[in-house]
Amino acid sequence: MAQYSRVLDAVALITLQNPPVNALSGRVRQGIVDTVQRALADPKVKSVVICGQNGVFCGGADIREFGSPMTGPPLVPMIHAIEAADKPVVAAIEGVALGGGLELALGCHYRIAQAKAKVGLPEVTLGLLPAAGGTQRLPRLTGLPAALDLITTGRHITAAEALELSIVDRLTDHSAVDAAVKFAVSVADQSLDARRISSRPCPCPPDLDALFEAAMRKVRHSSRGATAPVACVQALRAAATLPYSQGMQREKDLMATLFTSGQARALQYNFFAQRAVARWRLPGGARWDGSKPRPISKTAVIGLGTMGRGITVCLAQAGLSVVAVEVQEKPLKEAKQAISGMLRRGAKRRGVAPALDLITYSQNLRAVADVDLVVEAVFEDLDLKTQIFQQLSNICKPGALLCTNTSGLNVDLLASQSRRPELVVGMHFFAPAHVMKLLEVVYGSRSSPEAVATAMDLGKKMGKVGVAVGNCRGFVGNRMLKPYMEQGLFLLEEGATPESVDGTLEEFGFAMGLFRMSDLSGIDVGWKVRKGDGLVQPGAESRVRQGRRYSPLGDLLCERGRFGQKTGRGWYQYDKGHEARPDPWLHRFLEEYRARHGLVARRIDRQEVLERCLYSLINEGFRILEEGIAAGPEDIDVVYTFGYGWPKHRGGPMFYAGMVGLAKVLERLEHYQQTHPDVLYMQPCGLLRRLVASGSPPVHKWREIIKNTHSKI
């Protein structure tokens, strides 16, 4: 809806009303068309102000309407009518003007913004482009380089930056509506010719081709196969080279292609998945969100290694006080320096003061006695963690939450060491903890809903995407990684190289192929786990262990001191910094290994690499759903897109399985199971079979089938 009122008699005030962000639904668009017409027809009205209710101008298109037939007037002619008006129309921007909201503001003759407002054209993040003239009007205002940056990244900018880029005309520290009304009165009789952005030429630098070639190279490199950023560049090229009306046609055509593409569907699915995951549920659909989080103000982190440092930074940046404990003096000193550095850099980027004062350091575990919540991040060693949990249970005040950052140890076992198992949950951060968005909140069999709610709420405060998952070996993310990694090793044995496997995965869209990722997180991490499982036999090369196919390649590398980036050698070599270079030593090592085992290297095509790596990972995802470790496919997909570099434009592993076709995934798994009968992971999961037997329903219907499965159990 849009409300019409009159201020100071000569100004019509149009207020968009569609909580929470005044999105441009069909009813809102109809309201704008009607009220603008009314204002223009009224001879007493000399100028018009458009604003949004509750301090928010407009959050853009109403994505709840995506996928349903359009109702109400289309956006483009509506904005054209505003721009063509013979009375000045002023946008009063408070809160946000995003997407269609900013495009609406660009159709107005003037824009006045409240200093705290943010503007942006984030369509690209949903696999689309700003298709209500955004790609044609913005460059006419800001010039091409700024428009390319804003439209291809979708980033939101502050009102101050918007003023610098001429996107808004004035800022106010007070009410943008009051300022806009006053301003509207002052410009009532002025000519509007120069104010209609579409009639201005697009300012072009002399070497247009070079500018667009560079922009195209940049987006192709960073978008990892996503088509929307490329289409954005094409639309901006049209703005620079074609008359406005033809540019608009190009924008429309490009949008039509994007709109029906699988990528836009995947990105929009991922957007909604993120929201669904925040309203966490128990497997089977029961909601836990009735339980209120506990207030947390004082926290502690135990163990200031790689992870503990990042977690301390996250907590302090969220405004919580932190007692940071490290037993030994030298690592404590190093940690202090590292944490202060991270906080300073973060604060500089965000233009705030570093939260150094919120942290107190200690070598004594007793210092955590009065905190509300502890995150334990000591070595991944069950005995050590057990001991810490026993101590914490004695030291911490009653009611304090005890959280562990373990990558995969049994949360129930740790909980049983404390006298408050209901207050023990996993808070599994990802490295680097102050950068990575994902947080797996692991509930054990005795964790109280309140404890889970508190950890989820804390995650939100730290700007994380929290996903509540059940307790099992490796939880969701690392558990699915195991078969994926193992397939990578088998492929090397059969003739592939780390470069060929990684190249294929990166071309698919992964931020990093599996061998580069393994080098980054440390090949020794898995080695230690396998040692604990009794799988590693030093010096031995047998390729069957505990009755199953096994590749000792990772163990052999670790025995040679090749742990990955940290030792400068792993699956690749690293001479300078983080750049992975193919290593002739490794290629020779693989050839000799194959020769010793009588393996004949064969050419493995891209398709096989993808199918074996991805489908084994996906198959494990189905097992996780079947066991109720993840509540739904959305949870798994959010874990993978936010924590493991799975390309968002492919939705996530479970969504991708649906896109490929569940029957096809099943058929290929059956095929690989026949060729590799000793690989358990390739045995298709019962849930996948059931889904195929039920006609392969779309991903949002899977929960029903999973629920039925659980209720039968």
Active site residue ranges? 103, 123
DSSP 660-695: H-HHHHHHHHHHHHHH-TT-GGGS--HHHHHHHHTT
Question: What gap in Å lies between CA 221 and CA 636, rounded to an integer?
Answer: 26
User: Could you count the other beta carbons within 10 Å of the beta carbon of residue 688?
Assistant: 24
Length of the chain in residues, anyone?
A: 713
Q: Which is nearer to ligand NAI, 106 or 368 (CB)?
A: 368
The residue whose Cβ lies closest to ligand NAI is 305
Residues of this chain that interact with ligand NAI (CB under 6 A) are: 302-308, 325-328, 331, 377-380, 384, 388, 405-407, 429-431, 521
CB of residue 378 to ligand NAI, shortest distance in Å: 4
Q: Which is nearer to ligand NAI, 147 or 325 (CB)?
A: 325
Pairing of strands 96-98, 89-93: unpaired
Q: Which is nearer to ligand NAI, 303 or 633 (CB)?
A: 303
User: Could you count the other beta carbons within 10 Å of the beta carbon of residue 686?
Assistant: 12
Token reading at 357 = 């004062």
Q: Which is nearer to ligand NAI, 154 or 303 (CB)?
A: 303
CA distance readout (Å), 134 to 56, 106, 388: 20, 8, 56
Question: What gap in Å lies between CA 170 and CA 114, rounded to an integer?
Answer: 9
CB of residue 428 to ligand NAI, shortest distance in Å: 6
CB of residue 638 to ligand NAI, shortest distance in Å: 17
- Name the residue with tokens 């999961």: 685
Q: Which is nearer to ligand NAI, 98 or 629 (CB)?
A: 629
One-letter identity of residue 169: D
> Do the Cβ atoms of 15 and 41 come closer than 8 Å?
no
Q: Which is nearer to ligand NAI, 317 or 405 (CB)?
A: 405
> Do the Cβ atoms of 51 and 13 come closer than 8 Å?
yes
Token reading at 119 = 């503007």
Token reading at 397 = 């005040």
Question: What gap in Å lies between CA 691 and CA 676, rounded to an integer?
Answer: 24
> Do the Cβ atoms of 408 and 470 come closer than 8 Å?
no
Question: Which DSSP helix (H) or strand (E) runs through 111?
Answer: strand 110-114
Q: Which is nearer to ligand NAI, 578 or 712 (CB)?
A: 578
Helix then strand count (H, E) for the chain reads 28, 19
CB of residue 18 to ligand NAI, shortest distance in Å: 41
Question: What gap in Å lies between CA 253 and CA 257, rounded to an integer?
Answer: 7
CB of residue 629 to ligand NAI, shortest distance in Å: 18
CB of residue 373 to ligand NAI, shortest distance in Å: 16
Residues 6+ apart with CB under 8 A from 406: 376, 380, 385, 414, 426, 428
Give strand pairing partners of 118. Answer: 96, 158
| 91 DSSP 8-state letter | E
CB of residue 402 to ligand NAI, shortest distance in Å: 14
CB of residue 423 to ligand NAI, shortest distance in Å: 19
Q: Which is nearer to ligand NAI, 235 or 480 (CB)?
A: 480
